[in-house]
């Protein structure tokens, strides 16, 4: 088996950068150059480089996920305005890629990261209808994924003391609320079209998505893996916060949307 290629970013500049800046202004106004690495604990800087390098990748993966969702919404004839929101989120996520990558640069550069971006699209059930494919992506990416990331980012922001990290987190958080809302709007639109069996399938998709994130709170906590000043929350806080987010932000809203979830499947994940 050959190793995955290094995950690297490219930037063209010029015409495309100017157009992006018109659509998403303000990134150059953040307090770049203010991070005093010498005043921080070296271990904290190492941990922050590791976590924020992973953050660049997750933002890139989110851009791909919302691009996949946009295509799926087009393929099922979803409302044009709802589809436009999904497409706009793709640009938000690409803005976040730049933002977090620049922060990693200020922290001293990325740690090695390997991933074949040709594999980045989520494979949906090929036998599903176009509507169910869109719901699979909306539930996985937004209803679960983004609804876990919002409270995690909020907690990081509350603990961050360095102005640059705080400003980066503020810019991320300003966008992530709507990213977490979009999936619920897709589900509310699709709801009346779903059979009971399709509702049960959406519930099972949600449980599978929660299970895919469960290692984040089930893995043994690494006591030294934290750098609150730089946006890396202490691990114990993090696990409890994610479990609470699953209950309050995901399961409660699935119930409000009349999506059945099997407690025997989900409760062991939260134990």
Chain residues in the site for Fe ion (CB under 5 A):
59, 62, 93, 96, 176, 179
Task: Give me the least distance between CB of 129 and Fe ion, in Å please.
Answer: 26
For Fe ion, the closer of residues 55 and 228 by Cβ is 55
For Fe ion, the closer of residues 47 and 93 by Cβ is 93
Q: Which two tokens stand for residue 153?
A: 């980012």
Tell me how far apart the alpha carbons of residues 271 and 262 are, in angstroms, rounded to a whole number.
Answer: 15
Task: Give me the least distance between CB of 100 and Fe ion, in Å please.
Answer: 8
For Fe ion, the closer of residues 69 and 107 by Cβ is 69
Task: Give me the least distance between CB of 39 and Fe ion, in Å please.
Answer: 28
For Fe ion, the closer of residues 44 and 146 by Cβ is 146
Task: Give me the least distance between CB of 19 and Fe ion, in Å please.
Answer: 20
Task: Give me the least distance between CB of 69 and Fe ion, in Å please.
Answer: 11
- CB 135, CB 187: distance < 8 Å: yes
Q: Which two tokens stand for residue 59?
A: 């933002």
For Fe ion, the closer of residues 62 and 147 by Cβ is 62
């Amino acid at each position: 088996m050959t190793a995955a290629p290094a995950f690297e970013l490219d930037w063209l500049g010029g015409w495309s950068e100017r157009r992006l800046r018109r659509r998403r202004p303000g990134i150059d106004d953040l307090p770049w150059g203010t991070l005093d690495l010498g005043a921080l604990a070296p271990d904290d800087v190492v941990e922050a480089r590791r976590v924020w390098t992973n953050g660049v990748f997750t933002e890139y993966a989110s851009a791909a996920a919302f691009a996949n969702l946009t295509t799926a919404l087009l393929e099922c004839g979803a409302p044009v305005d709802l589809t436009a929101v999904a497409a706009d989120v793709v640009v938000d996520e690409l803005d976040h890629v730049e933002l977090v990558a620049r922060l990693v640069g200020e922290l001293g550069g990325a740690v090695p990261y390997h991933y074949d971006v040709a594999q980045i699209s989520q494979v949906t059930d090929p036998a599903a209808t176009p509507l169910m494919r869109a719901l699979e992506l909306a539930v996985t990416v937004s209803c679960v994924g983004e609804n876990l990331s919002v409270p995690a980012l909020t907690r990081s922001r509350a603990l961050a003391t360095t102005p640059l990290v705080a400003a980066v987190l503020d810019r991320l958080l300003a966008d992530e609320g709507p990213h977490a809302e979009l999936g619920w709007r897709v589900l509310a639109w699709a709801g009346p079209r779903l059979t009971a069996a399709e509702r049960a399938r959406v519930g099972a998709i949600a449980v599978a998505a929660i299970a895919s994130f469960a290692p984040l709170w089930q893995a043994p906590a690494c006591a030294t893996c934290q750098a609150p000043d730089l946006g890396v929350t202490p691990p114990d806080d993090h696990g409890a916060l994610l479990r609470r987010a699953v209950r309050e932000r995901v399961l409660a809203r699935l119930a409000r949307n009349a999506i059945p979830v099997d407690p025997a499947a989900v409760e062991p994940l939260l134990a």
